[in-house]
Structure 1
Amino acid sequence: MKTTNFIFLAMLTYLLGISNLAAAPKEVAKITGKVADQKGQPVAYANVALIQEDGALVDGAVSDENGVFLIESTKTAKVKLVVSSIGYESFTSEPFDLAPGVSKDFGDLSISDEMTGLDEVTVKASRPEIIIEPDKTIVNVEGTVMAQGSNALDVIGRSPGIYVDQEGNINLNGRSGATVMINDRPTYMSSTDLANFLRSMPADNIKSIEVINNPSSRFDAEGSAGVINIQLKKNSVDGVFGNVQIGGQYNGQFAPNTGLTLNVKKGKLSTNGTFNYNEYAVYNDISINRNFTLEEGVSNFNQDSRINSRYKTPSFNGSANYEINKNQNIGLNVQASASTDINKSTSGTVITNPGQDYNSFIESYNDAEGSRNRLFTNLHYDAKLDTLGSKISADVDYTIMDSESSSLLDNMYWSGDDQASASTDKILTLNDMYYTIFTAKTDFTKMLKGGKTLEAGLKGSWVQSDNDLDLSRAEDEGPFVPDPNSNQFIYNENVLAAYASLKGSFSEKLSYQAGLRGEYSDIVGNSVTLNQINKQNYFNLFPSFFVQQKVSEKYQIVYNANRRITRPNYRLLNPFVYYIDPLTSEQGNPNLKPQYSTNFEMNHVVNGSYQFTLGYSVTEDTFMQVFEQDQEERTTTTYTDNFDQTRAANFRAIVPVEIKKWWSTSNMLQVTYNQFQTQIGENFLDVDQVSYMVRTQQNFTLPKGFKLELMGMYLGPQIWGQGSIGGFGWVDAGVTKSLMKDKLSIAVNGTDLFRTQFINAKVQFADIDTSFRQYRSNQGVRFTLKYNFSKGESFRVRSNSGSTEERNRLD
């Protein structure tokens, strides 16, 4: 470990040394200041521009969270400083001379409110505004039809390049494994728990969603699909505001939801808290047809199942921030949830065997229930080091998760020639899991000479999980006896990381950001029952590089490249066996290795709105679900394994159009070419396919305060490991109405209006011949009634955590 620490210290020192050497002095003009409102509170994200007398833009910047701005320019001109922000009167300075070497500090700039009280604040936006930055795309959700009556998972699924499947798994640019953060901090949940948590979060509490396709070295290297960061609304000046809402969804079953949000700021202390209760009811109809090739012919299993599930998720998200002084802040964030689920399934299987003139039957009933508790705490500190934007921050996170689940699978078999009697067996599964995650990190930003910015940081994470799977069986009327596939699995993972990056410009039209991140992983998986210990330790470097080329005022190109890692979900490393039904089981794989991806992207941005992106990625040891059939036992086993290599090339276009003042549309097309190559047993898999995704969103502002949104989406056929999935699509609609000067709003949303979201898939590889058809109860209607309240001074809603990667692997 001493050697490891020395490696990280040496690497960081080396990178810092290179950065300082690279910071060759270049004379520039520096214009600084701080934007504040009439109460002296900072105005974040204000536009600050240097404008010539004829109105031409010379240079500009945006104020940071503390209202501070810095403009560096190599140009010579006579300019005015213009400051503007939504909800404020603009500020314009007297003309002054701009030239390299000039330094001008405007100090505190006070701008006046356009509105005088909370009751006067209205929102007129009818669709999310998409802001394209060099390293991310920002979707402004606040005040849109999208936000009213929807939840966070819905909004994420409608963001550029994102598709959320029927199970709630999030895919970004055709790749799974996207990392989801809330206010720059991790969520620490499995994919199932995360989906339920996001369903319980009203979209109206969201300010914006940041989509980061290729994260810089500042982010964890975990996650080949990129980062999705949800920014929640905050209160920036003294006062109280919040909302209470109630609603429900009906899709054959009724599921209620309610929530309360309260934000309070007084002086240097600001607090906010959100409590939500959400129920999610769903049925899942599945038809599976399997053919088993025997010496005497083909045996056919035709299975129809229905799974009825109900999830109940109460959750709380609270934070407090204290401004120690104008340069230092300290804060606390607490997230808690306690979810329960009930799943009841029934299935019937008709078996046709060669040489028999009768059919056999299997009936199965599975009653399962579970509970999951999660507590996440974060303590953070940040400090400004100078007026130029240098700063340092530190975060400490601690997460506890525990879950309990049980299922009783009851199977009855009729041989076909004797329908009067049946044999039975029962499988009882008890599963207890417990996780603790501790992370600590620090980040440092230093403004250097020549307009360069240095970022560096350190992080450590320590994870421990204990998974106890207890299986027992009973045949006919006999007692339950222990199953040899029971297993206790203890997993420990320590990851140490360091990074450094340098941002600057080659010229007025060419800027860059280059970074390097190193991560050392030490992993021990201990199967107590099998007395089997698997150890892994490895060190990897993850470079990232961005170049932004301003071809003209209306056209820019962003080039980026990086390397990423995706570590296996902790649960998948457990050598467990879980029986889904008498014919199908799922197994863990303790030999599962991390997957590594190298990604390249070229993004063309026209008029700040139209986006055309070309991307290419190569992934080694790709995670993929594998199907195996036992021809003699006529059973199917699934597990996750590493495919040798996958390649993907993609094109994405985002085209927003304002057709009329009352009608706007946002359209997206994504085309992806995928190629998989790997050895599975004695067979070599080499498949490729072009798939595509089309989405259009139509927004209408109607008379008498009504707003209407229509969304249509279609996914073309695509590769699915050894198999393929057919194309499918659906249409959603939503209408909102505001009352009482926007204090009260009513929203009604319909999903899968024409009941077309069917999934058809097949696996025909080697001796496997399986097809299935699935419909999850997506067709339904959701209504929401929301009341906004506020008290206090005028305010403006405006917009830091370590352990992002660990939460995604708790499945």
Structure 2
Amino acid sequence: MWLRTTVYLFLLTTTVTFAQLSGGTPSPSVPAQSSQPSTIPVGETSSKGNAKISGYVVDSTLTKAVEYANIAVYNTATDKLVDGTVADDKGKFTLTKLAPGSYRLLVSFLGYNAKPIDNVVIAKGQTKDMGVIRLSASTRTLNEVTVAGTKALVEDKVDRLVYNADVDLAAKGGDATDILKKVPMLSVDLAGNVSLQGSSNVRVLINNKPSSILAGNLADALRQIPADLIKTVEVITSPSAKYDAEGSGGIINIITKKNTLQGLHLDVDGGSGNRTSTLGLNGSFRKGKLGVSLNGNGRGVYNPSGSDLNQTTFLGESIAPVRTRQHSDGFDKGLFGQYALGLDYDIAKNQSLTGGVRFGVRNLSRDQHLATSLLKGDIVGAPSRRDVNSQDLSNSVDMNIDYLHTYPGTGDGPQRELSISTQYSQNHLTNNFDANNLDTLGILTTRQRNLNFNTSQEFVLQVDYQTPISQAQQLEFGAKETYRRVNSQYQYLLAGPTSDYVVDSQRPDGSLLYDQNIGAAYLSYTLTTHNKITIKAGTRYEYTSIQASAGGQGPISIPNYGKLVPSINLSKKLNESTTIKLAYNRRIQRPNVQDLNPNFNAANPYNVSIGNPYLKPEITDRIEFGYSTYVKKTYLNLTLYSRLNRDDIQSISQRSDTLIGAVVSRRSNIGKEYNYGTNLFATVNITPRWSVNTNIDIMYRYISGLALDVSGLSIPLSNTGVRWGGRFDTQIQFDKGWAIQANLGYRGKDIALQGYRIGFAQYSLGARKAFTNKRGSIGLAAENFLTNGMGFTSVLNSAQFNQDFRQYIYNSSIRLTFSYKIGNLNGAKVKKGKSASGEEENS
């Protein structure tokens, strides 16, 4: 009772104070009441009846809902408060058990003018829909203190950390990697590769669903998602049993913005800069029970590239080593696109059907000019030149149909739900290259071509059921079947300066057919105790069967395997501002299509990569402790974790036996990897318009496995080191729609089994001006603008070779951004659905 009274007094004080500042009526508001409230703290006793009032609170610009708005109900005759509630995070509110009569509503929220609605008359048993209630923003300075509503940048939930990307002012014209760089516990390197608490084996979802768009090059795929379209990023380091076990490092769930309002609207966003240009369209139409959404984004890339390779290969004690020196200049150009169509329909009051189609295209071309010299002892070989054009092309499609049936429940606890989800995905991937070999005079001598086609397909069928056992307990269980097929075809061709291409006799044609079936079932139980302890425990069993064959060698023997994946999350609320967590889970990292593809990628013949169809899954056990608290204007989140990987999947490099001076890298299950780390995130709201946040992570890593000595025999190898990184962001809003944001980050040296990769720094500065009608904005963003680019060095050392590979990243960029909103929207019902990943989503 004391907690309820405290919360009420806080809301009452906030509403009255703001109403006085904004010129609104100084009337109180009350928090949401339970379905059977025992008392109303002020005014008269709550009326008893079966009538209802509902509505939807939105910003007067009609671009967003007003989350957690306060709704107070007054008796018209007595002007006494009789009931009240708080809207949900979509602006939806419902008042139940009202007696017939005439009422006055007062709708208010911090940062908006309070809005009274008079003469709301309801009859017995009537449900009165107020439709859309528009609140106009109000910012007023009193004694040099500005009162304005501010949305939290980070939210800490029982099993995840939520980063509210729609608060990011510098996102306009950027992509998903620009957002992920700022999310707690995540790191993004200069090539766009994402890691979670030091692990790159993360599972990335879009709106709780896996996508074939992400099945190819993840870094490129993330750049196809415009930052303006992202609402939140969920970091799930300890997923519950409902989630697929895949992703040893955890899950990153990208939630895109959706619209649940009636009417038609279209948002146009774009940007143009010296490295990239983007243009995005995001529209929706809703009428009655049917909703349709369509969004698309195109991105053009034009950027130089370069590298230096210095490596020494050792052929034996009595043979002089071979030193390879290579310089590369190149230019990347490409067009990327992503397009999505979504439909949802209310079949009945408690039944809904949703579906969608998402298309993705990638067309990246890289022209490289390689100059290579070999030094065999004291003998300097003639330099060689090689011009290479590499094609990285893909087109993908995801289609899903989901059905949800909710059942009437009692009280305010979780409701009973049944959901059936299906998804089909297909991705066509082409990685070809054409190479011209030239002599020292630049005359063409031979030509080479590698054709490499891959098709991956996936079909998912999932059934989930959840039911409350009591007000404080919930049971969830379900089953899922996933069928995957990967088909790779590759070929090497040779030709003279003018002759036709013929098959390379030293590298015969190859293929890989890889079928994978995953059957899964899970059981999850959630309990919330009277002393504010939440326990979410469950287990998931996944059985994987594999059938594989390679052209020329027939079936490949890969054992089937079953894995039990337990998880438990404990959360204890110490007080209203402090929470501690303890979690354990087990995860599985299955190899992806690039890991499996046995194509011999020799676009650079002295630095070759090859896949491995015999890879086993990587198993990870993880323990995590978390602490979060609010101290005045500061939010702190501290995480301590340990992670053990068995059958760790990493690249192992060795000297080539066929080409002198070359090194070949191959994905392998090397052994074990131990990680112990901590992450500290803090955000400080210095004023309602000025916020600062910082992120620091430190991790100790130990890796052990097998490598080859100079004679080719396996020898044990280990490596250890500490990696640290940090990030600092600040954001300031000014009058008349102006805002600026700055970012500075550093990522330290990263450890691998055979070497390390050096650290790097990144920084950015952005400014934005919103139009006076609040329907659009224009901005300017700059990244790493003090230099043209930077070097990014990887160092490998073994008994067979030493390698120093320095890649030049030209990431200095400036882009002009714009956005504009078109259309008129009205209120609509908000409903919830389930995805094929088994997690709840709003639509």
Say whether the fold is shared (TM-score over 0.5). Answer: yes
TM-score scaled by length of structure 1: 0.83
Paired letter, 2:347: I
Aligned to 1:448: 469
Paired letter, 1:303: Q
Q: Deviation digits for residues 609-644 of structure 1, max 9, x if unmatched? A: 210010111000111111111378221101111121
2:557 is paired with a residue whose SS is: strand
CA distance in 2: counterparts of 1:125 and 1:435, whole angstroms: 47
Shift of 1:214: 1.4
2:228 is paired with a residue whose SS is: helix
Structure 2 residue corresponding to 1:371, chosen from 393, 400, 418? 393
Structure 1 residue corresponding to 2:249, chosen from 225, 240, 243? 225
1:185 is paired with a residue whose SS is: coil
1:186 is paired with a residue whose SS is: coil
Q: Are 1:432 and 2:465 counterparts?
A: no
CA contact (8 A) 1:672 1:692 kept: yes
Shift of 1:795: 7.3
Aligned to 1:279: 300
Q: Are 1:403 and 2:429 counterparts?
A: yes
CA distance in 2: counterparts of 1:602 and 1:367, whole angstroms: 49
CA distance in 2: counterparts of 1:35 and 1:224, whole angstroms: 47
Following superposition, which runs of at least 4 residues in structure 1 exceed 4 angstroms of deviation?
29-35, 42-50, 60-71, 82-92, 106-114, 116-120, 123-128, 190-194, 420-423, 475-479, 794-805
Aligned to 1:213: 237
Between the two proteins, what is the percent identity of the paired residues? 23
Q: Deviation digits for residues 29-55 of structure 1, max 9, x if unmatched? A: 975999831699x999748999xxxxx
| Structure 1 residues 107 and 168: CA distance shift in structure 2, 3 A | farther
Paired letter, 1:448: I
1:466-615 equivalences under 5 Å are: 466-474=487-495, 480-483=501-504, 484-607=507-630, 609-615=635-641
| Structure 1 residues 109 and 147: CA distance shift in structure 2, 3 A | farther
Between 1:220-229 and 1:292-301, the stretch displaced more is 292-301
CA distance in 2: counterparts of 1:664 and 1:586, whole angstroms: 45
Q: Deviation digits for residues 284-323 of structure 1, max 9, x if unmatched? A: 2111101123535333211111232222123211111111
| Structure 1 residues 466 and 352: CA distance shift in structure 2, 3 A | same
Paired letter, 2:393: S
1:536 is paired with a residue whose SS is: coil
Q: Are 1:139 and 2:158 counterparts?
A: no
Between 1:659-668 and 1:486-495, the stretch displaced more is 659-668
Structure 2 residue corresponding to 1:695, chosen from 727, 744, 766? 727
1:651-690 equivalences under 5 Å are: 651-681=678-708, 682-690=714-722
1:274-423 equivalences under 5 Å are: 274-294=295-315, 295-356=318-379, 358-387=380-409, 388=413, 389-412=415-438
Shift of 1:788: 1.0
2:594 is paired with a residue whose SS is: helix
Shift of 1:150: 2.0
Aligned to 2:804: 771
Q: Deviation digits for residues 51-75 of structure 1, max 9, x if unmatched? A: xxxxxxxxx999588969999xxxx
Let me know the Cα RMSD of the aligned residues.
3.7
Q: Deviation digits for residues 319-349 of structure 1, max 9, x if unmatched? A: 1111122211101111012322211111111
Aligned to 2:785: 753
Name the count of aligned residue pairs. Answer: 736
| Structure 1 residues 587 and 679: CA distance shift in structure 2, 3 A | same
CA distance in 2: counterparts of 1:405 and 1:299, whole angstroms: 30
Q: Deviation digits for residues 581-602 of structure 1, max 9, x if unmatched? A: 2222212212211000001111
CA distance in 1: counterparts of 2:224 and 2:377, whole angstroms: 51
| Structure 1 residues 783 and 43: CA distance shift in structure 2, 3 A | closer
Shift of 1:190: 4.4
Shift of 1:500: 0.8
CA contact (8 A) 2:719 2:752 kept: no
Shift of 1:467: 0.8
Paired letter, 1:115: R
CA contact (8 A) 2:404 2:834 kept: no
1:260-271 equivalences under 5 Å are: 260-271=281-292
| Structure 1 residues 213 and 61: CA distance shift in structure 2, 3 A | farther
| Structure 1 residues 639 and 288: CA distance shift in structure 2, 3 A | same
CA contact (8 A) 2:161 2:235 kept: yes
CA contact (8 A) 2:436 2:444 kept: no
Between 1:316-325 and 1:515-524, the stretch displaced more is 316-325
Paired letter, 1:390: R
Paired letter, 1:352: L
Shift of 1:728: 1.4
CA distance in 2: counterparts of 1:151 and 1:518, whole angstroms: 36
Paired letter, 2:764: D
1:13-52 equivalences under 5 Å are: 36-37=54-55, 46=68
Q: Deviation digits for residues 689-746 of structure 1, max 9, x if unmatched? A: 1111100001122354321111111011120331111221121111111114222211
1:189 is paired with a residue whose SS is: helix
Q: Deviation digits for residues 249-286 of structure 1, max 9, x if unmatched? A: 213xxx43212111111111111110211112333211
CA distance in 1: counterparts of 2:779 and 2:254, whole angstroms: 22
CA contact (8 A) 2:314 2:799 kept: no
TM-score scaled by length of structure 2: 0.80
Aligned to 2:46: none
Aligned to 1:463: 484
1:102-121 equivalences under 5 Å are: 115=134
1:216 is paired with a residue whose SS is: coil
Paired letter, 2:815: R
Aligned to 2:649: 623
Aligned to 1:245: 269
CA distance in 2: counterparts of 1:47 and 1:461, whole angstroms: 42
Shift of 1:793: 2.5
CA distance in 1: counterparts of 2:53 and 2:303, whole angstroms: 50
CA contact (8 A) 2:131 2:828 kept: no
2:770 is paired with a residue whose SS is: strand
1:142 is paired with a residue whose SS is: helix
Shift of 1:210: 1.4
CA distance in 1: counterparts of 2:128 and 2:626, whole angstroms: 36
| Structure 1 residues 214 and 741: CA distance shift in structure 2, 3 A | same
CA contact (8 A) 1:292 1:299 kept: yes
CA distance in 2: counterparts of 1:535 and 1:680, whole angstroms: 23
2:679 is paired with a residue whose SS is: strand
Paired letter, 1:140: N
Aligned to 2:752: 720
Between 1:748-757 and 1:553-562, the stretch displaced more is 748-757
Shift of 1:505: 2.5
Paired letter, 2:782: G
CA contact (8 A) 1:594 1:621 kept: yes
Aligned to 1:731: 763
Q: Deviation digits for residues 203-250 of structure 1, max 9, x if unmatched? A: 222222211111111100000121122222222231222211332221
Unaligned runs of 5+ in 2: 1-33, 38-49, 59-63, 73-84, 97-105, 117-124, 140-146, 709-713, 839-843
Structure 1 residue corresponding to 2:660, chosen from 617, 620, 633? 633
Paired letter, 1:316: Y
Shift of 1:386: 2.4
CA distance in 2: counterparts of 1:168 and 1:127, whole angstroms: 28
Paired letter, 2:615: L
* Greater length-normalized contact order (CA 8 Å, ≥ 6 residues apart): 1
CA distance in 2: counterparts of 1:45 and 1:245, whole angstroms: 24
Q: Deviation digits for residues 515-561 of structure 1, max 9, x if unmatched? A: 10000101112102332423331111100001111222222101111
| Structure 1 residues 797 and 157: CA distance shift in structure 2, 3 A | farther
Paired letter, 1:774: Q
